[in-house]
Amino acid sequence: MTDHTSSLEYKHMQFRPLHQDLALKKISTSLSLCGLLVLAACGGGGGGSSSTTPTTPTTPVIPPVTSLTITGVAATSAPLVAANIKVVDAKGAAVSLVDANGGSIPYGTTNTADGSYRLNLSSSGITMPLLIQAAGRDVTGNSVILYSMLQATTSPTIANITPLSTAVVAEILGANPRSVFNNAASNASSIALLSNATMLAAASTHIKTIVAANLTDAKITNTKTLDFFQDATFVTNKTLLDVALEGLTVRIAKDSNGNDQLQISNKFAIPGLPDVTVDLATAKTELAKTTGTTLANAVKSTAKTTVVTSPLATASTMDNLTIALNKAIAQGSAASAFSGYIATAAMPAPGSSGTGTYTYNGRSAAALTAKLAGYAANNYQLSKLQIMGCADTPSTPLKACVYFQVGATVSDNSGKTVDLFYDTVTYNKTSTSWTFSGNGRNTSTEVYPLAYASYGMDGSLTSGSTNPSVGVEIAIVGESPPGTKSMDGAIVQLLSGYSVPFAYCGGTYLCASSSPSVPASATGELKDFLLQQPALGWIGSKDGQAGAKYVISTTAANASATQNLSVYLPASVPSDYVTSQFPALDGVSASNPVVPAALIAGTNLNWANWAAANPDSHVFMLRFIISSDGAAPIVSDFSVPNDLSTTTTLAATTIPDGYVPSSYQLLIGAQDNLGRRFFTTYKSAP
Nearest by Cα to 383 from 406, 360, 359: 406
Question: Any alpha helices (H) in 472-595, and if so which ranges?
Answer: none
| Per-residue confidence (pLDDT) for residue 205, from 0 to 100 | 96
- Summarize pLDDT for 509-549 with one digit per residue, the tens: 999 988 777 777 899 999 999 998 654 445 778 899 999 99
Q: What is the 3-state secondary structure (H, E, C) of 188-247?
A: HHHHHHHHCHHHHHHHHHHHHHHCHHHHHHCCCCCHHHCCCCCCCCCCCCCCHHHHHHHC
Evaluate if residue 58 carries a pLDDT over 80: no
Evaluate if residue 29 carries a pLDDT over 60: no
CA atoms of 285 and 278, how far apart (whole Å): 12
Contacts of 378 (CB under 8 A, 6+ apart): 412, 418
Evaluate if residue 181 carries a pLDDT over 80: yes
Higher pLDDT, 469 or 123: 469
6 by Cβ neighbours in 10 Å (0-12 / 13-18 / 19+) ranks as buried
- C-beta of residue 121 within 8 angstroms of C-beta of residue 650: no
| Per-residue confidence (pLDDT) for residue 43, from 0 to 100 | 34
Q: Which domains occur in the chain, in start order?
A: 9-39+61-311 (no CATH), 318-436 (3.10.450), 445-568 (no CATH), 579-684 (2.60.40)
Evaluate if residue 646 carries a pLDDT over 70: yes
- Summarize pLDDT for 190-200 with one digit per residue, the tens: 999 999 999 99
| Per-residue confidence (pLDDT) for residue 164, from 0 to 100 | 97
Higher pLDDT, 108 or 28: 108
- Summarize pLDDT for 401-431 with one digit per residue, the tens: 889 999 998 988 887 788 889 999 999 988 8
| Per-residue confidence (pLDDT) for residue 35, from 0 to 100 | 32
Confidence grade of residue 140 (pLDDT, cut at 50, 70, 90):
confident
Confidence grade of residue 311 (pLDDT, cut at 50, 70, 90):
low
CA atoms of 663 and 654, how far apart (whole Å): 15
Average pLDDT, the chain: 85
CA atoms of 178 and 72, how far apart (whole Å): 20
CA dihedral over 610, 641, 597, 506, signed as positive or negative? negative
Evaluate if residue 36 carries a pLDDT over 60: no
What is the model's pTM? 0.85
Higher pLDDT, 558 or 233: 233
| Per-residue confidence (pLDDT) for residue 391, from 0 to 100 | 87
| Per-residue confidence (pLDDT) for residue 42, from 0 to 100 | 33
Cβ atoms < 10 Å from Cβ of 557: 18
